[in-house]
Amino acid sequence: MGGLVVLICMVVSWMFIHRWSQRNKKGPKTWPFFGAAIEQLMNYDRMHDWLVNYLSKSKTVVVPMPFTTYTYIADPNNVEHVLKTNFNNYPKGRVYHSYMKVLLGDGIFNVDGETWKKQRKTASLEFASRNLREFSTKVFREYALKLSAILIQASILNQEIDMQELLMRMTLDSICKVGFGVEIGTLSSNLPKNSFADAFDTANIIVTLRFIDPLWKIKKMLSIGSEAKLEKSIKVVDDFTYSVIRKRKAEIEDVRKSGQQNQMKHDILSRFIELGESNATDKSLRDIVLNFVIAGRDTTATTLSWAIYMVMTHAHVADKLYLELKLFEENHAKEENISLPQFDKEDSESFNQRVEQFSRLLNKDSLERLHYLHAVITETLRLYPAVPQDPKGILEDDVLPDGTKVKAGGMVTYVPYSMGRMEYNWGSDAASFVPERWFKDGVLKNESPFKFTAFQAGPRICLGKDSAYLQMRMVLAILCRFYKFKLVPGHTVQYRMMTILSMAHGLKVTIHKRC
């Protein structure tokens, strides 16, 4: 018994000596065996701000974990090294792929090498396609107007609504139309529940938890806890996706047999089948399309939610944006020789007609003339990037430009959420929402994609950037021209931990129409 007591005392003493030896360490303190896992778990719900605290003191933070080491970076020079200069050494990697495979499979966001190159080449051709751009513009306008119709009724009834939920429904409907070519109707006036959407969200949350849950593989093997819930959610997602794929393959085959090639659809799934993917398995098509869904639905909806929150909490920004949109409407109508009849915001029919008329002025070229709107969206992405962290695997030992050594088998994560808040990147007002920072001498300016990392950079830079801006401009132009939003008293706005920076409790607001 005495020997056991001595052993316990020695172990405890060793652990505390280990902790004391780290008193001057810049990153999180670690424990033997557990590394920094305990501190990460304690701060899981606020992990992005936990990292802001450390990265504000050091541009690189090393976080040892039980089975690997995470190196977090916020210095643009380090980011450029990882995303471009030594790109081949920092793939998505085996670890990331194993965590995300159940949801993303072997889609473009979860693979490396030849599989990634092939998908990216096909996707880049499609995003450059005039047909897809015109189809997307039509779809984005259609669903923005459906959203507007719901807001009109909410304003009449003085209802409290969750804008994030509505935007998630809108972007899900639109990306399913653009991605699958199907109408799923979640933005219908009665706001029906949708099992695919619910299951997709649940799966997204649980796979994110895997990054810090050392027991997830055991739970998966035993089919218990979060992993059991994940399994059920993925089945719902797969059942819906596979049914659409089989239906679309049959439709394409019917069109080919009839010889009516002009009847081919322009959605992404159809195009991947037509462009040589017809021999691919349903599984590979499932992976391709679900990757586009997570890219085009969640990211856009969360950015729009944060943008509306920023506009409603910065009155001068809301006023400046409204004036730009109203002047745009008047000038554009004058150029097109279009009459703008008076409308009464209390008369739903005339109000809705004016919204529809305004929407017809909005296309890719005209929206690009709305420079302040662009700045508002970009500033939102700087502070609230849709993808707040992006981890990469490490194939071989390397040294980052700042001298940090990274070991093969570990992970390097660049952190857009933290990078946007660093004074060493953006100046003393880095934490403030200032759309004007995107202008120089009155002209919109660009920043290095290794500093403004919301759309990644290097060979993996986001192919859907222009499409995302098109939809966000379209929606915000309509919303900020014709509505004012007011946060419901007492409603808390904070992010929740998942791969996408969504709001934990939604965005509860009341709606007021404006002339």
DSSP letters, 157-180, are: HT-EEEHHHHHHHHHHHHHHHHHT
Provide φ and ψ at 444, rounded to 5°: -60, 140
Q: Among 19-23, 199-203, 325-329, 504-508, where is mean pLDDT lowest?
A: 19-23
- With bands split at pLDDT 50, 70 and 90, how would you rate the model's confidence at 11? very low
pTM of the model: 0.87
Q: Find the helix or strand (DSSP H, E) in which 275 lies.
A: none
Encoded amino acid at 227, one letter: E
Q: Is the pLDDT of residue 515 over 90?
A: no
Q: Which of 254-268, 385-399, 488-502 has the highest mean pLDDT?
A: 385-399
Which residues are CB-contacts of 40 (< 8 A; sequence separation ≥ 6)? 28, 47, 50, 63, 65, 212
**pLDDT beyond 80 at 426:** yes
In three-state secondary structure terms, 84 is helix
Within 10 angstroms of residue 453's Cβ, the number of other Cβ atoms is: 26
In 3-state terms, what secondary structure has residue 417?
Answer: helix
Q: Looking at residue 4, what is its pLDDT?
A: 58
Query: What contacts 24+ positions apart, CB below 8 Å, involve 422-430?
Result: 422/55, 422/56, 422/59, 422/74, 423/56, 424/59, 424/75, 425/74, 425/76, 425/451, 426/382
Strands of the 69-73 sheet, one edge to the other: 60-64, 69-73, 411-414, 390-393
What percentage of the chain carries pLDDT values higher than 90?
52
How many Cβ atoms from other residues are within 10 Å of residue 129's Cβ? 14
CA neighbor of 485 nearest in space, from 190, 139, 164 = 164
195/295 Cα distance (integer angstroms): 19
Q: What is the pLDDT of residue 38?
A: 63
pLDDT value for 247: 86
Residues 6+ apart with CB under 8 A from 513: 152, 155, 345, 351, 482, 483, 484
462 is in an annotated binding site: yes
- As a whole number of angstroms, the distance between CA 385 and CA 366 comes to 25
Please give the average per-residue pLDDT across 341-357, as a whole number: 80
Task: Examine the pLDDT at 39 and tell me if it is beyond 70.
Answer: no
Write down the pLDDT at residue 16: 53
Least confident of 53-57, 64-68, 347-351: 64-68
Which of 108-122, 209-223, 329-343 is the least confident region?
329-343
How far is C-alpha 504 from the geometric centre of its chain's CA atoms? 14
Polymer length in residues for the chain: 515
Using alpha carbons, select from 12, 73, 62, 13 the residue that is nearest to residue 36. 62
Which comes out higher in pLDDT, residue 121 or 89? 89
Max CA pair span of the chain: 96
Stronger pLDDT, 226 or 8, i.e. the higher one: 226
**Residue bearing the bigger pLDDT, 424 or 411:** 424
HSE, CB side, 13 Å, CA atoms: give it for residue 109: 25
User: What's residue 17's pLDDT?
Assistant: 47
Q: In degrees to the nearest 10, what's the CA dihedral of 411, 417, 422, 427? A: 140
Given a contact cutoff of 8 angstroms between Cβ atoms, the answer to whether 481 and 329 are in contact is: yes
Question: Which of 180-184, 205-209, 342-346 shows the lowest per-residue confidence on average (mean pLDDT)?
Answer: 342-346
Choose the weakest-confidence range: 27-31, 109-113, 268-272, 493-497. 27-31
- Kindly give, in sequence order, each residue whose CB lies less than 8 Å from that of residue 195, ignoring residues fewer than 6 positions away: 236, 240
Across the chain, mean pLDDT equals: 87
Which residues share a beta bridge with 35? Answer: 31
pLDDT of residue 108: 86
Mean pLDDT of the region 348-366: 89
Residue pair 363/61 in contact by the 8 Å Cβ criterion: no
User: Does residue 20 carry a pLDDT above 50?
Assistant: no
SS (H, E, C) 288-311: HHHHHHHHHHHHHHHHHHHHHHHH
Q: How far apart are CA 285 and CA 278, in angstroms?
A: 9
pLDDT of 278 reads 47
CA distance linking residue 183 with residue 172, whole number of Å: 10
Can you tell me the mean pLDDT for 399-426?
95
- Lowest mean per-residue pLDDT among 13-27, 29-43, 222-236, 412-426: 13-27
pLDDT higher at 121 or 88? 88
Closest C-alpha to 451, from 419, 489, 411, 473: 419
The residues, ordered by sequence, that sit 6+ positions from 90 with a Cβ below 8 Å of its Cβ are 82, 83, 392, 393, 394, 395, 412
pLDDT reading at 33 higher than 60: no
Residue 68's CB is within 10 A of a number of other CB atoms, namely 15
Q: What is the C-alpha separation between 373 and 322, in angstroms, rounded?
A: 9
Mean pLDDT for 181-208 is: 86
Residue 79 and residue 447 in contact, taking contact as beta carbons nearer than 8 Å = no
CA atoms within 13 A on the CB side of 381: 24
Read off the pLDDT band of 67 (50, 70, 90). low
* Residue 475, CA distances (Å) to 254, 304, 360, 482, 508 in order: 36, 8, 12, 11, 18
Predicted local confidence at residue 34, as pLDDT: 53
CA atoms within 13 A of residue 348's CA, in its CB half-sphere: 10
Residue 116 banded pLDDT, cuts 50, 70, 90: confident
Of the candidates 150, 198, 196, 156, the residue with the CA atom closest to the CA atom of residue 170: 150
Tell me: pLDDT of 110 over 70.
yes
Alpha-carbon dihedral of residues 197, 198, 203, 206, nearest 10 degrees? 140
